[in-house]
Chain A
Amino acid sequence: MKTKLTLSKEYIKGLWENNPVFKQVLGMCPALAVTVSALNGIAMALATTFVLVFSSLIISTFRKLIPSQVRIAAYILIIATFVTLVDLIMKAQFPSLSKELGPYIPLIVVNCLILGRQEAFSSKNTVFRSVVDALGMGTGFLIALFVLGGIREILGSRTILGLQVLPDFYEPWLIMILPAGAFLTLGFLMGFLNTYTERKKRLEREAILKKHIKPISDTPINTVEA
């Protein structure tokens, strides 16, 4: 049997190692579409996390009762229920936010991040573990959307969370708040993150190699020249 991760590792893995946006490349539609501002990103991520956590809770609780032939249909039904719930609550309590996020809230139903976690994790793990995993993935999604939205908002409209951070003489890059800006930002971010991870891996490998090669390099080769 596969060795189980500790609970904290189960949570942490969603933040970086398995980050839903940067590593798993899931949930791209909302990640690209709503991140015109940091606030929209946060709201979208919170809504998604809510749906993710509660669907994981329900699905992992009843995972042994749902016949595997109809599991996808059952998952979609459960997810759709929570999404509609979020949609109604947002419309009733936060009308302006709901107007901004508009059609993207109902689309959480088909967000592959949520269905993917149910299929890959909740349907095979205990309730507690599934909720922790969902929280981790939600946090990872939140970080990713906040960074994406933040960068686009700063460059595209000079502000972050509505506060002006760049001086007036800076001409906002309109493209950043257009759809193309989302692809550009995501592409550069992923590029940087992958370069960083690669570098880290290479350094680790070199460190290991050095440790083993050390006794050899200690032998006085240079004495020949001398």
Chain B
Amino acid sequence: MTLACPAPTGDGGHVIMGHGSGGLLSQQLLDRAVFSRFRAPELAQRHDGAVLAFEGPVAFSTDGYVIAPIEFPGGTIGELAVHGTINDLAMCGAMAEVLSLGLILEEGLPLATLDRVLAAAADACEAAGVRVVTGDTKVVERGKGDGIYITTAGIGRVHPRAAITASRIAPGDAILLNAPIAAHGIAIMSVREGLAFETPTVSDTRALHRAVAALLDRCGEAVHCLRDATRGGVGAVLAELAQQGGQGMRIRQTALPIAEAVEGACELLGLDPLYVANEGVFVAIVDGAHADAALAALRAAPGGDGAVRIGTVGEDRSGQVLLESAIGGARIVHLPPGEQLPRIC
């Protein structure tokens, strides 16, 4: 949904320092960019915060979003910031209901870009059924930001049957993924490197709470752990979970879902798709006896239609992830030392 903006946009309008002054210019900017799109009653009060009432346990999470470029194939920083916090809450077994939205704008950011980003964020909120109830906007001098940084915090109601923690990971558990890997990282790389692939890859940014709700409705306590595989990719998440839970894990390379175009791009760029970032992929570790039910539940839910089993938690206490290669060899999946750097040859 995109609402027509009542304020005059004016071609070539840019964010200026005055937009962060707290005066009339600030008001104008907020009216135009924020209040026209985010229409929760709590936000409309224009107070310093929102008063909310919840019964039962809630989860609370916050995340900061910095990305270059701000707009990329398949999304913008706007929906990324909405989906990211919805997903962090979902990994706690909670369904997001309200978000805060903090904007740090760089002087000189075209207002048209800000409009597109916030329209994308508003659409993402509406599609996910969450509302922005409070927010903040600051402006920093040109050169002190990457156009726009966003922080979102969110509160979600915890699913009544959720019992999610790395310590519940147990031998025989099935390791599941909801969707093909590495699309987001490759979409970003292709823009940064100016690469045009025959089949353009788009970011997989999406909200995962409905897939998680479907999984918990069906399997409840049999879902032992959930983790979204953002930075560091599926490889880093699994290595970290194995370390935390102390269990060994085995995954099969041939079971890893990946789009052919993404795989080809990874080959070309010298990147290991296991460590490439995702924005709509999560790992579910589920009691082995419930694996088929979990897969069926995921596949019927939005964002879970590509669900597959990629491996199993082992009996050993090695705390390490072993990848069985396509050709029958084996290697350890490590926590990457830092950012993945392309190799020379």
Pairing of A with B: no
